[in-house]
A = this chain, B = another copy of it.
Amino acid sequence: MLIDGLQYARWSEKIFRQMREGAVDAVHVTVAYHEGFRDTVLNFEKWNRWFEQYPDLIVKGRWAEDIDIARETGRTAVFFGFQNPGPIEDDIGLVEIAHTLGARFMQLTYNNQSLLATGCYEENDAGITRMGRQVIREMNRVGLVVDMSHSADRSTMEAADISERPIAITHANPREWAPALRNKKRDVIRAVTENGGMMGFSLYPHHLKDKSDCTLESFCEMIARTAEEFGVERLGIGSDLCQDQPDRVVDWMRTGRWTKEADYGEGTAENPGFPKMPEWFGDNRDFGNIAVGLRKVGMSADEVDAILGGNWYRFFADGFRPAQT
């Protein structure tokens, strides 16, 4: 079982075939950064066309059972998520609409302050807002998972506490290992995982120790240490693979429509583009390297299976269903 907790590739038949070569059973894909509701629907439409065009490679993922169907038929189940609450605009009724259309994860913020919570790039974090509390409750009700990957610390800990169902950090690493603002402090990881939540480890170079030069061993050691501290069953991969995207896309991810100035985010004026991936993880065919690396740092085959897919499968099975009433 192989499940990736986040990708934002420039999707193509080539990448769908690479997912099959790499035996990726399911992937959570980003369908919105700064889009409002209507533009998000256009992105759902794009995926509908891909499902129609490549029925032998991909299938729409709605429930964990769709991963079983994908495995039986040799395809990859594609689950949708938003990196920002922009798609629900200021309208709590759009939470259920989004879930009906297939959304399964929604970040409460993307770097900046949102109507719901504070992003990790803001100077001050006032926690979950009045609307945020209402929206978390509604997300819990319909089965849309709270994702705090790009949120600030206090907001993340409050979300873990307010949410009546486990939440996720789909793609980030421990800040102690690599000091990016996007990476998470120990307290934050604890708050999320002790309530049954999941953390997916990111392979985006700005989140790695030594960035593009990060070694497989260092990455796998970090996973092993995190598993010792927070429990192997709470961990997965969220590669944050942005394969084949042109650099104008990272500019859009960072600046959206909120500023007229350049904002380099985790990059710099000298290196504004997408960073080069580490040698041992270039695309969907390289998850095997991570499996080997995890065994080398002492993890058992069962533990490796859990981290590479089993944990996400269980989390998807619990998290995407409407709440029991």
Contacts and interface: CB of A to CB of B under 8 A. Distances in A.
Contacts of A129: 112-113, 122
Contact of A258 (B114, B115, B123): B115
A126 B138 contact: no
Interface in A125-157: 125-127, 129-132, 134, 138
A12 interface: no
B113 A258 contact: no
B115 A130 contact: no
Interface residues of A, number: 32
Contacts of A256: 90
A36 B36 CA distance: 11
Given A36-B90, A131-B258, 13 more contacts: A91-B258, A92-B257, A92-B259, A93-B260, A112-B129, A113-B115, A113-B130, A113-B131, A121-B130, A122-B130, A126-B126, A130-B259, A134-B259
Interface in A32-68: 34, 36
Nearest to A152: B126
A258 B126 contact: no
Contacts of A257: 89-93
Nearest to A94: B257
Question: How many copies are assembled?
Answer: 2
A53 B36 CA distance: 35
B130 A258 contact: yes
Contacts of A132: 113
Contact of A92 (B92, B121, B122, B260): B260
A73 interface: no
Interface in A258-288: 258-261
A115 B118 contact: no
A174 interface: no
Query: Closest 9 interchain pairs by CB?
Result: A124-B126, A126-B126, A113-B129, A91-B257, A131-B258, A134-B259, A112-B130, A90-B257, A124-B127
